[in-house]
């Protein structure tokens, strides 16, 4: 691979060409998304009963996730062994077997080729030689692991077990949110005009949250002065940023005279921020990411998983699935609906993220060999109490470089 | 004969009121008179934007969910004072509204829309297509939305959805 200028000695400098290089993008799809990483595929709740499927992605590769007649979850490439056609062209559905529409080659829900139409021809004429073994070209099957209702898959031969991969300092915070059976409450997707890495960096960047998102700051949902912390997994790739719900009245922002502090701003209906401490630990916000493209979000009672799907080198689809729990009562569901105004492409506190990643994509054009500066909180990837830190962003690049063979 | 004529006349009047409401509503948005947008609704109202897929599957959460006029005002306040997004405008094109049911009081109306988004850079794109499922309260000459469900055909939104549809 033709690695261009890349400062080798530090994680605090990233060259801009990595967001726009087509060859690098192709390498990422292979080494990262189809390599030794765990990719979030869907919620188990999205396969509600036996003989159901939904499509998902490993990077830009389409995969089919199924629940077979015995309730076991499988995943395989969404590609026919014959001519490579997509097998499932619907996002979700029910099926006992999956047949390619092009020539009706048929697969079981594990992805095994079970029938080839007219394999022996018709009336002794035509068909395929007995020596032919199209099964050898069957779609690749993913290894699957499920963690508290989250379905992950990998094509890598050397991917460590899921919990080892995520890290012992992160896994408990997945269990904390995914504490009981979930119920899907809605979904949508947001097309970002940027490389996928810019969105992952944005997610891991706890420093920007209260500076870019004024709504957050004004209502003291997430002031950096609020008690919280940043946890990064040992391999760097996974993180948690959290803050306590209790408000801390401080004036750091106002004194700094930043754009994002405005006393004039008040809501007529602050009830949309009304919440309950459903996890019983006072944590009002927890953003958790797993390399390369998974985010679990708890903002008060607004719960969502986000799946980062690279579409092209400068285009990324962010697939949001919002959920509650099966035993939610009407009042809690209503609270989640009210708080849903905070997130997504129209969200009071998250609409800016779609634009911000695009700003970097555009700003970096023509500056391929210039470097971005990632020095908040030093140069390491250690966990810390302060969220005025880019430790998790540096962690992302550590994991990235390991997988891409950049030493 | 006269009765038939007057029935036809009131149907025409009603159709006119609905079309006039739709036209004024979309003009206010497209002309960036967003502060006027909440005034097209009754005090207690429902305004939501969701996807056709969520709607078909009975899933309650979409992009926007507002249950009163003050919440609509809050959204405009946030857009004007808090949220960061590049300058942009919409151009709505609506179908002829169809009155699904009702003749007076609260009527159910369905209208298709296409919305182009024009960025400050000049870039113009087809931003959203879909349908309005509206409940319109007719009170004499006045017509106001008591419910407006904006059902987008696609599940995808490009970059962000700041200005209401």
What does the DSSP assignment read for A38-53?
-EEEEEGGGS-SSSEE
Which residues, other chains included, contact B142 with Cβ-Cβ below 8 Å and sequence gap of 6+?
none
Length of chain A: 407
Per-residue pLDDT tens for A271-285?
788 899 999 999 999
Residue A259 confidence (pLDDT): 45
How far does A262 lie from chain B, in Å, by closest CA? 9
The residue with tokens 């007649």 is A69
How far does B106 lie from chain A, in Å, by closest CA? 25
For the sheet containing A52-58, what is the strand order? Answer: A73-77, A61-67, A52-58, A92-94
Residue B2 has pLDDT above 80, yes or no: no
Residue B1 confidence (pLDDT): 55
Q: Is B130 a domain residue?
A: yes
The 10 Å Cβ neighbour count of residue A394 is 26
Chain-centroid distance of CA B60 in Å reads 18
- Cβ atoms of B162 and A341 closer than 8 Å: no
Closest CA to B62 of B163, B151, B144: B151
Indicate the range of A72-76, A166-170, A188-192, A257-261 predicted with least confidence: A257-261
**Phi-psi group of A319: left, alpha or beta (phi > 0 → left; psi -120 to 50 → alpha; rest → beta):** beta
Structural domain total, chain B: 1
Instruction: Answer whether the bond into residue A292 is a cis peptide, omega within 30°.
Output: yes
% of chain A residues with pLDDT over 70: 91
Residue A272 confidence (pLDDT): 83
- Give the C-alpha separation, B157 to B141, whole Å: 37
- Cβ atoms of B68 and B44 closer than 8 Å: yes
Q: Searching chain A, which residue's CA lies closest to the CA of residue B46?
A: A338
Burial zone of B52 (CB within 10 Å; 0-12 exposed, 13-18 middle, 19+ buried): middle
% of chain B residues with pLDDT over 90: 88
- Give the C-alpha separation, A399 to A196, whole Å: 15
- Give the C-alpha separation, A99 to A119, whole Å: 15
How far does B27 lie from chain A, in Å, by closest CA? 21
Q: Searching chain A, which residue's CA lies closest to the CA of residue B82?
A: A214
Instruction: List the domain range (segments joined by +) for residue B66.
Output: 2-152
Q: Tell me whether residues B157 and A345 touch, CB distance under 8 A.
A: yes
Q: Is B161 a domain residue?
A: no
Residue A265 confidence (pLDDT): 61
Query: Is the C-alpha dihedral spanning B67, B69, B75, B78 positive or negative?
Result: negative
- Cβ atoms of B45 and B136 closer than 8 Å: no
The residue with tokens 């006269």 is B2
Domains annotated on chain A, with CATH: 42-145 (2.102.10.10), 166-404 (3.90.380.10)
Per-residue pLDDT tens for B49-73?
999 999 999 999 999 999 999 999 9
Confidence of residue A38 (pLDDT cuts 50, 70, 90): very high
ipTM > 0.85 for the complex: yes
**Out of A268, A333, A341, closest to residue B64 by CB:** A341
Q: Is B157 a domain residue?
A: no
- Interchain CB contact of A118 with B (< 8 Å): no
Q: Is B159 a domain residue?
A: no
- Interchain CB contact of A325 with B (< 8 Å): no
Q: Strand B156-158 and strand A182-192: pairing?
A: parallel
The average pLDDT across A77-105 equals 94
Q: Strand A150-154 and strand A143-147: pairing?
A: antiparallel
Per-residue pLDDT tens for A226-266?
788 999 999 999 999 999 886 444 455 455 444 444 445 67
Per-residue pLDDT tens for A112-151?
999 988 898 999 899 999 899 988 899 999 999 999 999 9
Q: What residues in B contact A304, CB-CB < 8 Å?
A: none
Q: Is B164 a domain residue?
A: no
- Give the C-alpha separation, A8 to B11, whole Å: 75
Residue A263 confidence (pLDDT): 46
How far does B55 lie from chain A, in Å, by closest CA? 9
Q: Is B160 a domain residue?
A: no
Q: Is B165 a domain residue?
A: no
Q: What residues in B contact A337, CB-CB < 8 Å?
A: 60-61, 65
Q: What residues in B contact A317, CB-CB < 8 Å?
A: 156
Q: Is B163 a domain residue?
A: no
To the nearest whole number, what is the mean pLDDT of chain A?
90
Confidence of residue A49 (pLDDT cuts 50, 70, 90): very high
**Out of B51, B78, B159, closest to residue A354 by CB:** B159
Which of A341, A342, A353, A356 is the best residue to mutate to test the B interface, defined by the most B CB atoms within 10 Å of its own CB? A341
Establish, for the pair of chains A and B, how many residue pairs have beta carbons separated by less than 8 Å.
Answer: 117
- Give the C-alpha separation, B125 to A286, whole Å: 35
How far does B155 lie from chain A, in Å, by closest CA? 5
> The domain spanning residue B63 has which CATH number?
3.10.450.50
Burial zone of A175 (CB within 10 Å; 0-12 exposed, 13-18 middle, 19+ buried): exposed
Q: Which of residues 28-57 of A touch B (CB under 8 A)?
A: none
- Give the C-alpha separation, A46 to A331, whole Å: 23
């Amino acid at each position: 691979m033709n690695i261009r200028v890349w400062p080798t000695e530090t994680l605090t400098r990233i060259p801009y060409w990595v967001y726009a290089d087509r060859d690098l993008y192709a390498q990422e799809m292979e080494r990262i998304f189809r390599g030794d990483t765990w990719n979030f595929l869907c919620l188990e709740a999205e396969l509600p009963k036996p003989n159901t499927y939904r499509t998902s992605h490993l990077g830009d590769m389409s995969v089919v996730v199924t629940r077979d007649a015995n309730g076991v979850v499988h995943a395989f490439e969404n590609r026919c062994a014959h001519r490579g056609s997509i097998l499932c062209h619907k996002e979700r559905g029910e099926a006992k077997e999956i047949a390619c529409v092009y020539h009706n080659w048929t697969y079981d829900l594990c992805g095994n080729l079970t029938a080839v139409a007219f394999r022996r021809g018709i009336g002794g004429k035509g068909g395929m030689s007995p020596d032919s073994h199209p099964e050898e070209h069957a779609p690749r099957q993913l290894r699957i692991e499920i963690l508290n209702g989250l379905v992950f898959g990998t094509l890598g031969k050397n991917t460590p077990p899921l919990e080892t991969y995520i890290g012992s300092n992160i896994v408990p915070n997945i269990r904390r949110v995914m504490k009981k059976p979930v119920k899907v409450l809605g979904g949508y997707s947001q097309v970002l005009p940027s490389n996928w890495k810019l969105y992952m960096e944005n997610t891991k960047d706890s420093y920007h949250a209260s500076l870019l998102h004024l709504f957050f700051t004004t209502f003291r949902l997430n002031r950096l002065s609020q008690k919280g912390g940043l946890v990064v997994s040992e391999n760097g790739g996974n993180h948690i940023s959290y803050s306590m719900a209790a408000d801390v009245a401080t004036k750091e922002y106002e004194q700094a005279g930043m754009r994002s502090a405005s006393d004039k701003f008040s809501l007529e209906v602050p009830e949309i921020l009304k919440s309950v401490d459903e996890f019983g630990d006072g944590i009002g916000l927890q953003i958790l990411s797993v390399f390369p493209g998974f985010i679990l979000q708890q903002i008060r009672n607004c719960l969502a998983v986000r799946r980062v799907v690279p579409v092209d080198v400068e285009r990324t689809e962010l697939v949001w699935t919002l959920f509650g729990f099966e035993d939610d009562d009407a009042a809690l569901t209503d609270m989640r609906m009210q708080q849903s105004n905070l997130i997504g492409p129209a969200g009071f506190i998250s609409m800016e993220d779609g634009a911000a990643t695009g700003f970097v994509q555009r700003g970096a054009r023509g500056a391929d060999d210039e470097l971005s500066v990632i020095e908040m909180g030093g140069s390491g990837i250690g966990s810390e109490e302060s969220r005025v830190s880019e430790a998790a962003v540096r962690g992302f690049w550590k994991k990235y470089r390991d997988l891409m063979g950049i030493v | 004969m006269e009765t038939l004529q007057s029935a036809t006349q009131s149907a025409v009047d009603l159709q006119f009121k609905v079309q006039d409401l739709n036209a004024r509503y979309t003009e206010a948005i497209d002309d960036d008179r967003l502060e006027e947008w909440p005034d097209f609704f009754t005090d207690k109202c429902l305004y939501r934007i969701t996807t056709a897929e969520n709607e078909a599957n009975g899933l309650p959460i979409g992009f926007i969910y507002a249950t009163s006029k003050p919440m609509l005002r809050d959204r405009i306040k946030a857009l004007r004072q808090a949220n960061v997004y590049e300058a942009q405008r919409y151009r709505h094109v609506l179908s002829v509204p169809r009155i699904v049911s009702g003749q007076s009081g609260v009527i159910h109306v369905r209208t298709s829309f296409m919305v182009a988004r024009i960025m400050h850079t000049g870039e113009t794109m087809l931003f959203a297509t879909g349908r309005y499922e509206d409940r319109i309260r007719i009170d004499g000459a006045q017509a106001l939305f008591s419910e407006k469900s904006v059902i987008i055909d696609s599940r995808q939104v490009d970059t962000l959805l700041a200005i209401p549809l």
